[in-house]
Structure 1
C-alpha cells in the first residue's frame, strides 16, 4: 500500500524524544515510509509532517502512541477514503481493553460518517487519502479534538468513511496528556468552536 506514517511533535524536545522511542519505531516496523516534523504548535507539526508526504495515503501518529502489527495490511482491505481503526488503550505496560471501535459519546450503534455531525469516532491514526487532507485544508488550531475538525472537513469534502476493526491503534493513556487536561467547560467550548467552524449543530 502506498502510505506514509506522519509523526508530528510540538513544544518540549521530550516529545520528539518520545516519538523516536515509541511512535516512530512502531511505524518503521510496518515497512512503510515514516516522516517526523517538530514545531512550536501541534497543527504546525502535523502540517509540516504532511508536507513531506508524497504517497497516496497518510496515517498521522501521535508521539506517545503506536500502530500494532498488521495495521497497514488490515487497512488495505478497505475501500473508503478514510478508514478508522479499532483502539486498544494502554496504561504503562498494561492493556486496559480489548480493541474496540470508538463511538461518538452517547451513540450506542456502530458509528458511520454522518455521526461526525455530533462528535468524533475516529482517532488521529485513521488512514486517509493524502490529497483529501490537503483539499480539506489540513490541520487547524484547536485545543482539543482537532482530529474531529479534520474528519468533519474530509466528510464535507465528499470523503467516504468505514471502520476497519482489524487495524489496531495503540493509545497510551497518560493522566497529564493534552487531551485529558482539557475538561468540563473548556472541552465543551472547544466542541462548540469546532461545530461553529464547520456549520454543525452547536450543543
Structure 2
C-alpha cells in the first residue's frame, strides 16, 4: 500500500511543536509522514487538512493524524495485512485513549456504531485519495468534519472495514472542539441535510 500520513495544524505555532513531539515520531518509521502548518487566516481544521493535501499532493492512501495523537507500533503494517485490494474501502482502526502519556482502557473499535447517525471512524481511518477527492474532501463544518467525510464516502459506495489490530492513540480531551459542540442535534441535522442535497446532486 502507498500510504502517506498527514499531520496538519493551524493557529498557534505550539501545535506544530506538539506534532513534532508526539504525532510525527509515532508515524515516520511506518510510512512517509508530512506536516503542514496553515497560515493565520485559516479558520477550520478541514480547510487546513485540504491545504495540506494540495501542498504535498499524496497519490495513494491518506492517513490523517492529529498533532497530539499517535499511531501505535505496527499500525500501518496491520492496515496493509487487512487490505483486500479494494481502494474504495475505509480501513478503520481501534482507538485507545490517552491522558498525557497514560493509557486509559483497552483499545476498541466502534463497529457497533451506525455511521448514518454516529461516527465509527477515527480521523486515522485510511481513505484513498481518489475517494477523498470524489466525495468533496473535508467540508467546512463547525465540528465533526471527519464524520462528514467518511459518511459521504459510504454514501458513494465505500465499505467499512474494521482493523482491530491497528491502534490509533487519541488524547482524551473533554474540552475539545468535538466534545463541546454547543448544539449537537442541530449540527447533526445540518450535516445529514447537506449530505442529502449532495447525494441528490450526484444522481
Q: Same fold (TM over 0.5)?
A: yes
Instruction: Say which of 98, 101, 114 aligns to 2:109.
Output: 101
Q: Deviations over 1:98-140 (max 9, x none)?
A: 000125xxxxxx34xxx22122111111011111001111001
Instruction: Show the counterpart of 2:168.
Output: 169
| Aligned residues of 1:35 and 1:53 also touching (Cα < 8 A) | no
Equivalent position of 2:75 in the other structure: 71
The structural deviation recorded for 1:160 is 1.9
- Larger deviation: 118-127 or 51-60? 51-60
In the alignment, is the contact (CA less than 8 A) between 1:84 and 1:127 conserved in 2? Answer: yes
Counterpart CA distance in 1 for 2:57 and 2:27 is 14
- Alignment pair present for 1:196 and 2:199: no
Question: Larger deviation: 186-195 or 174-183?
Answer: 174-183
Q: Which runs of 5+ in 2 are unaligned?
A: 198-203
| Aligned twin of 1:7 | 7
2:65 pairs with 61, 64, 84, which one?
A: 61
Distance 1:182 1:11 in 2: 19
> Do residues 129 (structure 1) and 128 (structure 2) align?
yes
Provide Cα deviations, 1:162-198, integer angstroms capped at 9, x if missing partner: 1000000000112332222325xx2222211111111
Which 5+ residue runs of structure 1 have no aligned equivalent? 104-109
1:144/1:187 contact within 8 Å kept? no
Residue 47 in structure 1 maps to residue 50 in structure 2: yes
SS of equivalent to 1:198: helix
Matched residues, number: 188
Question: C-alpha separation between the residues in 1 aligned to 2:137 and 2:109?
Answer: 24
CA offsets per residue over residues 69-105 of structure 1, 9 Å max, x none? 00011101222521100000011222111000125xx
Tell me the distance in 2 between the aligned counterparts of 1:143 and 1:161. Answer: 25
Q: Look up the match of 1:86.
A: 94
Taking structure 2 as the reference length, the TM-score comes to: 0.86
